[in-house]
Amino acid sequence: MKNWWTGLTLREQLLIGAAGALLAILIVWYGIVSPLLTARADARLDRERAAFDLAQVERLLAVQRAQMPLSAGVTSAGRAPYTGDAFKTEVTRAAQGAGLAISRLQGGKAGRFSLVFEQADARQLYYWMNEVENRLGGRIERMSIDQSSGERVRATIDVVAGG
């Protein structure tokens, strides 16, 4: 290889060197720089899309709450809300029906208790919270939702019977 290189004229060596440098620049640009810039732009778009989805859900929730009947003593099913252990049973049954796995269930005095979901789908979680408030006559007193892995969330939700 060395004999071949030394056998080339200076002009040929410069041309091959320039071609090698150009090839190195192209590899760095298309192999490293361009994918990094694209990933950053994709992350920005994903964040904007998530912020838009959150704003849309909050807007729909505000509209839904504004349209709720003012009679707090009656659920959307037209009957008195569940109380005590019956409420806790119906809430856990609704969570299981929504495809949620309850990791921990704490409390239970006076119709107040906390549920912890470790790997929950956010859409199923919001569906279940809607069921608790509208169909079962409960109230979400406090909630904490954190990103877990992928599209899953970890949630701690405090529920109170009787809205």
pLDDT digits (tens, 9 = 90+) for 24-62: 999 999 999 999 999 999 999 999 999 999 989 888 887
Within-domain flag for 134? yes
Full-model pTM: 0.51
Within-domain flag for 63? no
Contact 139, 163 (CB under 8 A): yes
Within-domain flag for 95? yes
Q: Where are the beta strands (DSSP E) in 11-132?
A: 104-107, 112-121
Residues 11 and 46 in one domain: yes
**110 vs 145, which has greater pLDDT?**
145
Within-domain flag for 89? yes
Residues 143 and 87 in one domain: yes
Residues 48 and 106 in one domain: no
104-112: average pLDDT: 80
CATH code, domain with 101: 3.30.70.60
Structural domain tally of the chain? 2
* Domain range for 26: 2-58
DSSP 3-state of 76: coil
Residues 111 and 141 in one domain: yes
Contact 158, 108 (CB under 8 A): no
Residues 106 and 156 in one domain: yes
Residues 116 and 84 in one domain: yes
Output the pLDDT for position 122: 87
Averaged pLDDT score across all residues of the chain: 85
Residues 97 and 22 in one domain: no
Q: Is the dihedral of CA 103, 108, 114, 115 positive or negative?
A: positive
Across 1-27, b (16+ Cβ under 10 Å) vs e yields eeeeeeeeeeeeeeeeeeeeeeeeeee
Chain centre distance of CA 130: 17
Residues 50 and 101 in one domain: no
- Rounded Cα distance between 96 and 16, Å, is 68
Which two three-digit tokens encode residue 59?
A: 């807007």
Residues 84 and 53 in one domain: no
Residues 80 and 116 in one domain: yes
| HEC letters along 11-34 | HHHHHHHHHHHHHHHHHHHHHHHH
What is the total residue count of the chain?
163
Output the pLDDT for position 74: 47
pLDDT digits (tens, 9 = 90+) for 147-162: 888 788 999 999 988 7
Output the pLDDT for position 60: 85
pLDDT digits (tens, 9 = 90+) for 60-93: 887 777 676 544 444 555 555 667 778 888 889 9
8-24: average pLDDT: 95
Within-domain flag for 91? yes
Within-domain flag for 145? yes
DSSP 3-state of 52: helix
Output the pLDDT for position 19: 96
How is 128-147 classified by DSSP, letter by letter?
HHHIIIIIS--EEEEEEEEE
- Rounded Cα distance between 97 and 90, Å, is 10
Within-domain flag for 64? no
Residues 89 and 116 in one domain: yes
Residues 81 and 148 in one domain: yes
